[in-house]
Amino acid sequence: MAVGRTWPHKNGPADVRARRDTLRSLPGWSAADDFIFDWPVEPAPFLAMQECTVGYVALPVAVVGPMPLEMGRYETEPDGELREVGRTADQVYVPLAHTEGSLSMSVLRGVNATRPRGIRTYVLADGITRDCCFVFGDSAQALSLANWLRGREAEMQAWLDHPDNGFGRPSGAVAPISRHARLRRLGTFVVGAMCHVLLRFTTGDACGPNMITRNAFALAHGFIVERFCAQTGIRPQRFALEANMGGDKKPSFQYFHEGHGKTVLAEAVIDAPTLRRVLRVRPHDLMELQTLGLHGSHASGMQSFAFTPASAVAAVFAATGQDLGMVGTSSMAHGTVQAVEVDGVPAVHFSLRLSGLEVGTIGGGTHLPHVRAYLRMLGCDGAGRVHRFAQIIVATALCLEISAGAAMATDDSRNFYEAHLERGGLRLEQAESALSGNGGPMAARAPRERRAKV
């Protein structure tokens, strides 16, 4: 491809070939790198996922399990609220795609610690928000729109459902209105001459951003602007489909407590003997670490209260075709550690709440062949499986929290340190000798117990 020519964005054979030829001409390219152009399977699904495609990247995938889960089964009420209709016990094997040394071992260690009593999971809420913003000449007009919209959710959804709403399907294009995205709730926020309109949808088994974007655009132009103007004589000066209050792909305090996507909770109780045998930690050590962590989180202004949920969320996302841009929102977490007793034996209750888990089992990257295989392995392929999938993810993140927290709490964080040395290819004895100067405080330690990886 000649220098200065517009870079082709389509994925026809000639376009793909032109991009590859250009890459081969770069000074840093080696003929040995051509393997990235060899599709591992039929290329059509890959080419359909994005523009400017040239090849693929391979990640190692670990599978950990069996994870003992008791999960809720849910139905969506007409008003969008979830109703639990039963509980299901299962043994799950979870795929983790990543290059983070010791992550898979740490998740597995958490799985092993929870195995005697299992993990219980719940879906607390389901709904994803788009923030449309209307700009007026003054605050009074913005407030007029906020007042006019109050209580109109059912009317707006009925308009979306009506075949004569003016947003019919153009020939050969995707329908401008999704029948799967259902408007459940709206809220307004007026600041200055702007009225933010927060439209909250349920989206079935799809993650849903594309669906709600289409429906929000239709509502803004076909319903809100036209009807509001016709009834009040007021027309906004401009409109933005998303004005950054929607909570999508970024952590926010509002959706940390209000929820965005799937709000899920996982809990597990582990008795003191199991903690000692599997995790090499005592309940008291975990409680002390939680106190330190809460103070540290508060002092830094941290929004989430958890150890490292993003690692587990990202690893499952990469293996199952989720939008990686949503890891930030999906990893907003609130973990708790509480001392309890089980049949008179000291134990610890662990929990993890993910308030903004943005996932789907249909659409987007779930069409890729390897992704379908991993989703089938989880029992999460296709429709009717998204709540199961969300619960598996929060359970996986909880296992990592338990294991990583225990490693940090054990013997002045020795287990956490050792695991990272081992994964870095440095022998522990060599490191200790270097750090202690053959006689420092580390060399004076009492003989340690059998190491437990993080």
Query: Does the pLDDT value for residue 88 go beyond 80?
Result: yes
Give the per-residue pLDDT at 242. 94
Closest among 273, 414, 259, 314 to 103, alpha carbons compared: 314
At a CB cut-off of 8 Å and minimum separation 6, what does 310 contact? Answer: 327, 328, 331
The residue ranges of DSSP E strands in 333-438, in sequence order, are: 333-342, 345-357
Q: What is the DSSP letter of 38?
A: S
- Return the residue matching tokens 């949920």: 309
What is the average pLDDT score of the chain? 89
**Stretch among 139-148, 161-170, 183-192, 393-402 having the lowest mean pLDDT:** 161-170
Residue, of 437 and 247, whose pLDDT is higher: 247
At a CB cut-off of 8 Å and minimum separation 6, what does 203 contact? Answer: 128, 178, 180, 181, 182, 211, 212, 360
Helix (H) or strand (E) segment spanning residue 265: strand 261-271
pTM of the model: 0.89
Other Cβ atoms within 10 Å of 141 Cβ, number: 20
Give the per-residue pLDDT at 323. 95
Report d(CA 414, CA 436) in Å as an integer: 15
Kindly state the tokens that stand for 293. 């962590």
Residues 19, 26 contacting (CB under 8 angstroms): no
Give the per-residue pLDDT at 449. 40
CA 152 to chain centre: 31
Query: Does the pLDDT value for residue 445 go beyond 50?
Result: no
Give the per-residue pLDDT at 420. 65
| CATH for 127-240 (1.10.490.20, 3.20.20.80, 3.30.70.420, 1.20.810.10) | 3.30.70.420
Greatest mean pLDDT range, 1-10, 41-50, 409-418: 41-50
Query: Does the pLDDT value for residue 433 go beyond 70?
Result: no
| CATH for 61-126+261-423 (3.90.770.10, 3.90.226.30, 3.40.50.2300, 3.40.605.10) | 3.90.770.10
Residue 442 — pLDDT band, cuts 50, 70, 90? very low
Query: Does the pLDDT value for residue 116 go beyond 50?
Result: yes
| Structure confidence by residue, pLDDT tens digits, 56-83 | 999 999 999 999 999 999 999 888 899 9
Report d(CA 246, CA 181) in Å as an integer: 16
β-strands 119-135, 61-76: how paired?
Answer: parallel
Half-sphere exposure of 435 (CA within 13 A, CB side): 14
Residue, of 188 and 424, whose pLDDT is higher: 188
Give the per-residue pLDDT at 108. 97
Residue 175 — pLDDT band, cuts 50, 70, 90? confident
CA distances (Å), 51 to each of 8, 9, 10, 45, 206, in order? 9, 5, 6, 12, 21
3-state secondary structure 297-339: HHHHCCCCECCCHHHHHHHHHHHHCCCHHHHHHHCCEEEEEEE
- Sorted by where each begins, the domain ranges of the chain are 61-126+261-423, 127-240
Residues 133, 208 contacting (CB under 8 angstroms): no
Residue 301 — pLDDT band, cuts 50, 70, 90? confident
| Structure confidence by residue, pLDDT tens digits, 119-174 | 999 999 999 999 999 999 999 999 999 999 999 999 999 999 998 888 866 655 67
CA distances (Å), 424 to each of 63, 229, 399, 417, 430, in order? 22, 64, 23, 11, 13
Q: What is the DSSP letter of 168?
A: -
Residue 297 — pLDDT band, cuts 50, 70, 90? confident
Report d(CA 440, CA 245) in Å as an integer: 54
| Structure confidence by residue, pLDDT tens digits, 216-272 | 999 999 999 999 999 999 999 999 999 999 888 888 888 988 999 999 999 999 999
Report d(CA 75, CA 387) in Å as an integer: 10
Report d(CA 438, CA 433) in Å as an integer: 5
Helix (H) or strand (E) segment spanning residue 230: helix 226-232
Give the per-residue pLDDT at 432. 58
Residue 443 — pLDDT band, cuts 50, 70, 90? very low
Give the per-residue pLDDT at 444. 40
Helix (H) or strand (E) segment spanning residue 47: helix 44-47
Phi, psi dihedral angles at 367 (to 5 degrees): -80, -15
Closest among 130, 135, 133 to 238, alpha carbons compared: 135
> Average pLDDT of 281-295?
90
> Average pLDDT of 407-418?
77
Give the per-residue pLDDT at 67. 98
CA distances (Å), 257 to each of 181, 252, 303, 333, 334, in order? 23, 9, 10, 10, 10
> Average pLDDT of 300-310?
86
